[in-house]
Amino acid sequence: MNRRSIFRYTSELVQEEKITSILEAGRWAPSYANTQPWEFITVRDGKLREEICDITQETMAAHAGIEGAQAIIVICVNPKKDEYHFIEDGAVATQNMALAAHSLGLSSYWVGIFDLADAMNSVEKKIKRVLNIPGQMRVIALLPIGVPAYSTEKPRKRLVEICHDNVYAGSLSPEADEKGKIGTEATRHGLRAQLLPVTPT
């Protein structure tokens, strides 16, 4: 509940055993049929980290969360091990590691660079070239790790706004529920009725 994305880190070094614990959390993530299609690269070299930061800066704001990180964990997956679930497998491993980092007093920021189109000049392809990642592997995310330089609070939606019982009921607010009922009835009768705001009594 307290984990947040952090974009600035102190210059304090991250202990090796903490990085190992984070990687262990990724290793123990669930995967379809226990295929474990992931491999992790821990980038500590200053020059390589700078290159990664420059690449992400070209196309996204994510570089703000990479600059200054003591380490960057690169989450790779092999689609040949599970062509249908490799993306979610990599995502689950990434979240495990982000939560583990927080539990150790560190912070991270999920940098999603997976390119669905697998374009030749995409950020993902550039990262693969810099880190010598084999062609068949895909990069799901980058996870910068560091000691947080600040803390932040960001709210979450209430359960009543996102949870449904048995079937999807649209918004749980009385107004939206009433609109949904009217819309369903109009469709049923082949009507193209314009829905007007309903004031609950």
Average pLDDT over residues 174-201: 43
Residue 119 carries which DSSP code?
-
Q: Which residue has the higher pLDDT, 109 or 62?
A: 109
Nearest CA to 145 out of 107, 183, 102 is that of 107
Q: Which residue has the higher pLDDT, 41 or 61?
A: 41
Q: Where are the beta strands (DSSP E) in the chain?
A: 38-43, 71-77, 107-108, 111-112, 138-146
Bigger pLDDT: 155 vs 192: 155
pTM value > 0.75: yes
Closest CA to 110 of 76, 77, 143: 143
In the prediction, which pLDDT does 60 show? Answer: 67
Q: How far apart are CA 169 and CA 172, in angstroms?
A: 7
What's the pLDDT score for residue 178? Answer: 53
Q: Which CATH superfamily is domain 16-146 in?
A: NADH Oxidase (3.40.109.10)
CB 120 within 8 A of CB 66: no
Q: Distance between CA atoms of 173 and 176, rounded to whole angstroms?
A: 5
pLDDT at 200 over 90: no
The stretch 84-110 carries a mean pLDDT of 93
- The residues spanned by each domain of the chain are 16-146, 157-201
Give the mean model confidence (pLDDT) for residues 122-131: 96
- Give the SS3 label for residue 96: helix
The mean-pLDDT minimum among 10-24, 50-64, 138-152 falls in 50-64
Q: Which residue has the tokens 């689950």?
A: 92
pLDDT tens by residue, 68-96: 889 999 999 999 999 999 999 999 999 99
pLDDT at 106 over 90: no
Q: Is the pLDDT of residue 117 over 60?
A: yes
